[in-house]
A and B are shown apart, each in its own frame.
Chain A
Amino acid sequence: MSVIPKPAVTDIFGKPVDEQKADNYLTHGRGILSWLLTLDHKRIGIMYMVLVLAAFFLGGVFAIVLRTELITPNETFFADATTNNDFYNQSFTLHGAVMVFMFIIPAIPAILGNFMLPLMLGAKDVAFPRLNLLSLYCYLAGSAFFLWVLGKGVLNILFPTLVGVWGGGGLDTGWTFYTPYSTDSTTAVTAATAGAFVLGFSSILTGVNFIASIHMLRPKGMGWFRMPLFLWALYATSIIQILATPVLAITLLLLIAERTLNVGIFDPALGGDPVLYQHFFWFYSHPAVYIMILPAMGVISEVISVFSRKHIFGYGFIAMSSLAIAILGFLVWGHHMFTSGQSALLSAVFSLITMTVAIPSAIKVFNWLTTMYRGSILLATPMLYAIGFIWLFTIGGLTGVFLGALSVDLHVHDTYFVVAHFHYVMVGSTLFAFLAGMHYWWPKMFGKTYSEKWAKIGFWLIFAGFNLTFFIQFVAGSQGMPRRYATYPDQFHIYHVISTLGSYVLTVGLFVALGVWIHSLIYGRQTPANPWGANALEWHTTSPPPHHNFNKTPPATDPYDYSHWTYDAELDGYVLNEDNEPEEAEAAHA
């Protein structure tokens, strides 16, 4: 290593930065406390990254366990049906709960949002840095509840006498906690719901922070319609986070009250109404789907434009469609309950509004395509993931129309069709956008290059594995295969075999992507300030950014105007010509 001269840190003009002056948030403070007590949004973003990826690994382990259990139609792991089925039920429950509450919801906002939002605003930090740190600790505390639930479950299996000491462990209610099953379940439902409750605060605090930052910290020259679309997406997401999450919190508290104090709210045996729980739950959890997908769409808007080297098409429509999705997302929760016995009128209204959500989604897809039209398209890894996103989101979105249509939904509701649909939207789309964003911003976050070749191999494995795993589930579901089945009739066997094999390919792909990142951290070369030729403000500083983000506040110009940047082959990145730097005056004028 020491033989090769270390490439210097360069600024946006391609000039080497003095080694002494080259401040870098990663080395700015030393010692573990400088991380644990940091108020720096970038460090908080990195800590979120480590924790959320750990949660993703944990959720992934459960996914592989449950897919492997389904490789045979009958009990696969244990000869005893009760043990086997309980094991499966706990696996899919924890898979869902960990992935939803600890991975997908925080993935893009808490990692990429935390890191990039102040940079994109040309600001030093978020509006409330202390709240930001608090949100991280809420995330840790909420996750600790889930680890407690899991640990108890494992110990109870190893030492059955412990059940008598501290009660049931694990969780077998499904991530939805439907009553009265969750009221009666002997597993650690109370601890798990308490965990989800605390995790909700992490989400709310992030939302509050983002809204305040976007309102208060925009630099001179950055009007609302000059913000990068990723910020619009985060803004719409934050609105949902602060309005919907408290409803989940209240619902979970009511559930805890019912379990511990026997207050009759949802359990008919205590005089409650179980369908009321579903209304409360989906009032949060349907908007939560948009908490997952909106930031993903924001990432894709950035990546498609930069890698087509062309101004984003239909900025206003994309920005407004984010808000439209956020608002409509609040009015469709009842489409999860078409079979529950809710009135036909209610079902009709929910179905109608659900159909209209298709339009802002379609608008985004068509605008991305038009952005690519006559662009200068570079198929680097982030762009591959973005194209993968459009592929998966198209399939996920269109299959949503099947589910929104009332009569068809009655057939496919609670089957593998639904499983496939929401994996295409939540995993396919959000995961791919997350990976697109990670590969896009990686050089900025760590100042290191990664192996483009291996990153692309990772992409193809993930893409192939994902489609292999989930596309076949549409077929199984339309044939009538119900979800959450530990065992199933033989006629569905072939679908499950294909799906399980696909999930192994997907796993290998994800580990390749992780390997690329780790390799980059150790062996990666120094990246220039702007390797992709993007123009949003995060690229107007060194890579990785200094502790205070910018030595000089950059002028806010049109984030999608790339014409000032020219390619520098020596740096393998784009540089500004010093004479060419857009002046603040010009920025204000435009």
Chain B
Amino acid sequence: MIVSLAQAQGIGMPVPASTYANEVDWLWNFITWVSLFFTVLIMGLMFYFVIKYKRKHPDERPHGMHHNTALELGWSIPPLLIVLAIFVWGFRGFLDITTPPANSYEVLVTSYKWGWSFTHPNGGSSDELHIPADRPVKLVLESQDVIHSLFVPAFRAKKDCVPGRYNEMWFEAPWNPQLAEVNQERVNPEKAWTQAPTMAFDLYCAEYCGTSHSRMITMVYVHQQESFEAYLDDLANWMEGMPPADIGARLYQTKGCIQCHSLDGTSGNGPTFRNIYGTERVMTNGERVVADNNYLRQSILYPNQTIVAGYQPVMPRINLNDVEVAGLIAYIKTLSDDYTGDQVSVDVDGVEETEKTDPGVEATTGAIITAEQTGQEQDNIQQETPPDQE
């Protein structure tokens, strides 16, 4: 057991990977040594007294002082000075950790039950956090439902995502070649940046948020400048030339749908996506609705307006543009057993009607038809794994 402990993780803090981690670790070590000193002192004296002054006869009448003010002050003041010093160091470190430098690279973090969305200044977003090395990164944190907390142990960084307000946090990860490696699982020969080494760290949700709290885990990837820029380009344009159903398949994973909606027909917190398209659904108010394009669009964009009987109104609002919504709908269609790939369903009219006002939509609708005509199957999606997917 001790061997496997030693192999597991070591017993101190994780490997430090941010500029302020060493400062935190220094204070951590200081308090550890102080604690060790007092623990050994107290336990040593206690065991010594127990042995040395063991009762030999039940009628012993030991005598001794009842009080000694000098002694009381003597053991109160030094510990007071030590904890005050610890306070000062802790506060200085805290100010460093909570004050983002002015030139920080800013990422918007949207947390929801149960996932993360990291939006970069170029508009691209992902469920993993990719950041440049050697540059301060500021995260603006928001939550769409309950309180979450973003925690990266390697950075010693944690901050709550509180609904109704923005919190901020920052860190800078210095490039450390010893921690960097090429992630073989994600290498895509067409994209040079996937072959560049990155430093990868766990990112946890630290504030209890319900059923899948313990699955609200993702990764932070720290890139060198060149591969980071390539990543950003890819992130902003990943949908280009991709069939809508493939777009939907990827969004299903990255936007958190996968947490509640299964593909195999089993019920989770939400209904399964399997064989849902075109079927009749019973609502909590008894109403019966056919799951056509409009129904799906409304259920995705305004999730809690109507609820299928047997479920709770718990789905968060996910920020999606029209192209993305159309992609998800196209993907859900492919999950019907009746789907043959070349049938343009009767409901295409519905999509056109809904989205007529938006000039960008014409293209989308067209794309849906194209996608379905070309009959892209789900298998293709695996090969064209988008840039930041595991």
Contact = CB atoms under 8 A, between A and B. Distances in A.
A98 B344 CA distance: 58
Contacts of A341: 159-160, 162, 165, 167
Interface of B: 1, 4-5, 8-14, 20, 23-24, 27-28, 31, 34-35, 38-39, 42-43, 45-46, 49-50, 53-56, 58-68, 71-72, 75-76, 79-80, 83-84, 86-87, 89-98, 145-147, 149, 151, 153-154, 156-160, 162-165, 167, 202, 204-215, 217, 266, 268-269, 312, 314
A85 B75 CA distance: 48
Contact of B146 (A82, A86, A184): A184
B162 A485 contact: no
B268 A407 contact: no
B154 to A, nearest CB: 8
Given A315-B67, A487-B215, A410 B158 contact: yes
A413 B1 contact: no
A36 interface: no
B86 A310 contact: no
A507 interface: no
Contacts of A401: 31, 34-35, 83, 86
B262 to A, nearest CB: 10
Contacts of B162: 268, 274-275, 340-341
A29 interface: no
30 contacts: A85-B215, A178-B147, A181-B210, A269-B163, A272-B164, A314-B68, A315-B66, A315-B67, A317-B72, A355-B84, A356-B83, A359-B80, A362-B75, A363-B76, A374-B64, A375-B49, A391-B43, A391-B46, A401-B34, A407-B94, A407-B97, A411-B157, A480-B151, A480-B202, A483-B206, A487-B214, A491-B8, A495-B5, A495-B8, A567-B58
A394 B66 contact: no
Interface string A477-506: 011101111111101111100100000000
A65 interface: no
A488 B83 CA distance: 34
Nearest to B155: A411
A395 B32 CA distance: 11
Contacts of B93: 406-408
A268 B153 CA distance: 29
Interface of A: 80-82, 85-86, 89, 172, 174, 178, 180-181, 184-186, 268-269, 272-275, 308-317, 338-341, 344, 347-348, 351-352, 355-356, 358-359, 362-363, 365-367, 369-370, 372-379, 387, 390-391, 394-395, 398-399, 401-402, 404-411, 413-415, 475, 478-480, 482-489, 491-495, 498, 533, 562-563, 566-567, 574
Contact of B79 (A80, A172, A358, A367): A358
Given A89-B211, A178-B207, A377-B54, 8 more contacts: A81-B212, A82-B212, A181-B208, A314-B68, A340-B162, A374-B62, A377-B55, A405-B90
A250 to B, nearest CB: 21
B242 to A, nearest CB: 30
Contacts of B147: 178, 180-181, 274
Contacts of A486: 213-214
Report the 5 A-B pairs with minimum CB-CB distance, sorted nearest first: A480-B153, A268-B164, A407-B93, A405-B90, A406-B94
B215 A363 contact: no
Contacts of A308: 53, 62
Given A315-B67, A317-B67, A480 B90 contact: no
B94 A373 contact: no
Contacts of B80: 356, 359
A402 B28 contact: yes
Contacts of B97: 407, 410
Contact of B14 (A359, A479, A533): A479
Contact of A376 (B62, B165, B206, B207): B62
B208 A475 contact: no
A310 B67 CA distance: 12
Residue among B14, B39, B64, B80 with the highest chain A CB neighbour number at 10 A: B64
Contact of A377 (B53, B58, B98, B156): B53
A480 B14 contact: yes
A272 B165 CA distance: 11
A271 B72 CA distance: 52
B83 A355 contact: yes
A274 B147 CA distance: 8
Nearest to A472: B5
Given A309-B61, A344-B94, A533-B58, A372 B50 contact: yes
Nearest to A491: B9
A81 B90 CA distance: 40
B39 A395 contact: yes
A590 B203 CA distance: 65
A494 B1 contact: yes
A488 B216 CA distance: 10
Given A341-B159, A407-B90, A411-B153, A174 B75 contact: no
